């Protein structure tokens, strides 16, 4: 577990912030909340319904629709992927973010819609680190805004939403984890 690398355990975690409700970001939320009830689950208000199971996630809707265009082994694989997505247990969100602001001391949530309509990123003010989640990607060594994987449901992230922060480091999920933005 990555927490062990920094000398921490889940018992010490007090907040779990969801960048967006895709399976790779929320897959273990229910288990975390069950085992560590003190952990506060925080997500964008506009995407809470996907995390708590009120609505099917955009990824599942996309996968089911795409599967209808497939045939043979591809359709079988697509069906298995959709079935996997259905195994992700919904989890209630404790705090719904309706505006940008501090979610912990020195940690600011910022709205970076694009990859999903309610995607959020985090800015660690003291160290000037921006955790962009899936708002950005790197292709051919260049920054690109992450492509909305959900057709017309989302739009591309406005890069100005991210660049307005004077981050020294940018951590993204889609591509290399850390990229030095500015020299200190």
Residue 87 falls in which region: left (phi positive, over 0), alpha (psi -120 to 50) or beta: alpha
Q: What is the pLDDT of residue 149?
A: 56
Which among 152, 108, 101 is positioned nearest to 132, based on CA atoms?
108
Q: What is the pLDDT of residue 180?
A: 41
Residues 169/128, Cβ–Cβ less than 8 Å? yes
DSSP lists the bridge partners of residue 51 as none
Residue-wise DSSP of 24-81: HHHTTHHHHHHH-TTPEEEEEGGGHHHHTTSS--HHHHHHHHHHTT--HHHHHHHHHH
- Domain regions of the chain by residue span: 10-98, 99-184
**What CA–CA distance (Å, rounded) separates 81 from 88?**
12
Residues 90/55, Cβ–Cβ less than 8 Å? no
Q: Indicate the SS3 state at residue 172.
A: strand
Q: Which two tokens stand for residue 29?
A: 């939320």
CATH class of 99-184: alpha beta
pLDDT tens digit at each of 184 positions of the chain: 577 887 888 788 888 888 877 777 677 889 989 999 999 999 999 989 999 999 998 889 989 999 999 999 999 999 999 999 999 999 999 999 999 988 888 899 998 887 778 888 889 989 998 888 888 777 787 777 766 555 444 456 667 777 777 787 877 775 434 444 444 4
pTM for the model stands at 0.81
The phi and psi torsions of 150 (rounded to 5 degrees) equal -115, 40
Q: What is the pLDDT of residue 84?
A: 94
Q: Which two tokens stand for residue 110?
A: 């910022």
């Amino acid at each position: 577990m990555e927490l062990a690398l920094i000398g921490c355990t889940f018992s010490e975690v007090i907040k779990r912030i969801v960048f967006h409700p895709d399976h790779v970001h929320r897959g273990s939320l229910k288990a975390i909340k069950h085992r560590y009830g003190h952990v506060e689950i925080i997500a964008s208000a506009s995407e809470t319904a996907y995390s708590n199971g009120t609505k099917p996630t955009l990824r599942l809707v996309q996968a089911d629709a795409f599967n209808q265009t497939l045939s043979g082994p591809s359709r079988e694989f697509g069906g298995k992927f959709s079935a996997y997505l259905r195994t992700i247990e919904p989890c209630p969100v404790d705090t719904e973010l309706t505006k940008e602001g501090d979610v912990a001391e020195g940690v600011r949530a910022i709205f970076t819609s694009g990859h999903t309509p309610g995607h959020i990123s985090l800015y660690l003010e003291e160290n000037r680190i921006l955790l962009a989640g899936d708002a950005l990607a790197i292709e051919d060594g260049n920054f690109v805004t992450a492509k909305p994987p959900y057709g017309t449901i989302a739009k591309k992230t406005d890069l100005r939403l991210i660049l307005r922060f004077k981050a020294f480091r940018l951590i993204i999920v889609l591509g290399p984890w850390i990229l030095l933005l500015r020299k200190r």
